[in-house]
Amino acid sequence: MRHSLRQFLRIWHIGVILKRYRLDNLFNTGYLPGPIRWIRIFLPGRKDVTGMPRGERLRMALQDLGPVYVKFGQILSTRRDLLPEDIADELALLQDQVPPFPGEEARSIIEKALGEPVDEVFANFDTNPLASASIAQVHPATLHDGREAVVKVVRPGIDKQLRKDIDLLRAIAQLAEKFNQSGARVQPSKIVSEFERFVFDELDMQIEAANASILRRNFSDSKDLYIPEVHWQWCKKKVLVMERVSGLPVGDIEGLRKHGVNLKILARRSVRVFYTQVFRDNLFHADMHPGNILVDASQPDDPTFIAMDFGIVASLTPKDLFYISENFKALFNQDYREVAVLHIKAGWVPAKTRMDELETAIRSVGEPNFTRPLNEVSFGKLLFDLFQVAHRFELTLQPQLLMLQKTLLNIEGLARQLDPELDIWSVAKPELDAIIREKHSLENISRELRERLPGWLARAPELPGLVHEILVKANSGQIQTRPSSADAAQLVKEQEITRRKVLQVLAGGSLIIPGAIFTALEIGPWYLWGWSLPGLLLLATSAWLIIRSLK
């Protein structure tokens, strides 16, 4: 009973804030229980916000509601597939600045987490924070060896506050789904679940430290991006200690110009950083807004980005990474048929989707972009429009793909801010081509074969049984081969191709066993330069058959 009363009072408070900013449309659409709508009768809205756009009023309301709702607004801004553009743009401007908690309390949290006094860990610790956000705040410190560091400390009690507010957001989302006509399509409960996953990951400083550590290793030899060093010996769940970095804010264009920074090189590097993170490493910083990026201008003609705040880092499944890279290539080549085929093969749209209708819809998005000057084309916007169109065909995407699209929009916006004349396509296409060529090079394939060989050997005894099972199912009719859609002729042709591919996979798979055995023996005159020649030929033939089946 007490819990329900607290929840009701909190909902009432939300209603008061929403009415204050004249967000009356939310009251009319069933997002809140009936009694809360009484607020519009008894409480007038602020007169000074009447002429403001709705997105700005919503942003101000979230800021008044507190840090958890600010963070929710930030995450919500990434769901551009669901939000009107004006609201998504405004929510993306939310500044996650909140009043700091006492420095002595931060000291206490650090000592409890590390199990030793702050003075023994650091030569100097400043209780005045450098920055304060909804999840944590950052304090400057000096290590005993003289190195400058920053200490990120999770806000006290934030996990309990998050849990209460998330439960409340979920309750409101369920009401929205129940009473609002568009609730089933927008699925606010799923948005709340995404928010829950993101923010609770951000609460764990060891996850953030691991993200930073991997990104630093990926860019250890790069002049494009610098990642601060993590001091692992002092990292715990509620405390993160890492190298203190300094640089010019990337959004301060005038400041960069005053220091003589080559903005054209910097703009091109921003695009390269994105494609390298996504397609080479499959791990990308998903929160690369200007507040999280500095520029090392010590060599103005060779500037380097410095990334900070690694709480939101994303990666794609191998399947999605393959299909998104192929989609990018097809879009670069204006091959709309291939884009449609890839959407169906990836399972993003149902297999029953008519190919010609999907291709026409994709062409309607792509062609208007290609008729514009290339320095005005936004690949992130094109990807967003593509997802919007595909929603008509029951598009299903993982949140990571939406984070990818949001990150691409951020990077392109940053690149254009640095160099308004930048032709992003001319930079992005060769970068993507070079990364894919490198990934599919003979050296990488050879290394991957060597790494996978022990696993293949371990599973080799199962292969004859699996082949037998497939043949039995095919013979008994359990494997469907008869077309069932209007595109019968096309499906029959595709099934013929599929049959050939299955035979190629089976033939290739059957050659793996003897090839692996020859290679594993490593004896006899046929063993030369670290490889068994018969084994190598068999494995190469096997790989060739399997690769052909993927085309």
Q: Tell me the C-alpha distance between 199 and 377, whole Å.
A: 33
Retrieve residue 18's tokens: 């929403």
Active site residue: 165, 224, 287, 296, which one? 287
- Phi first, then psi, for residue 399 (nearest 5°) are -55, -30
- Phi first, then psi, for residue 152 (nearest 5°) are -100, 125
3-state secondary structure of 51: coil
CA proximity to 135, closest of 310, 266, 378: 310
Give buried/exposed letters for 125-156 (b at 16+ CB in 10 A, else e).
beeebebbbbbbbbbbbebeeeeebbbbbbbe
CA proximity to 296, closest of 402, 396, 231, 219: 219
Query: Beta strand pairing status for 304-307 and 225-226?
Result: parallel
Q: Check if 287 is active-site.
A: yes
Q: Do the Cβ atoms of 212 and 152 come closer than 8 Å?
A: no
Q: What is the separation of C-alpha 120 from the centre of its chain, rounded to a whole number of angstroms? A: 39
Retrieve residue 119's tokens: 């003075």
Q: Tell me the C-alpha distance between 81 and 399, whole Å.
A: 11
The 10 Å Cβ neighbour count of residue 505 is: 18
Q: Which residues are catalytic?
A: 287
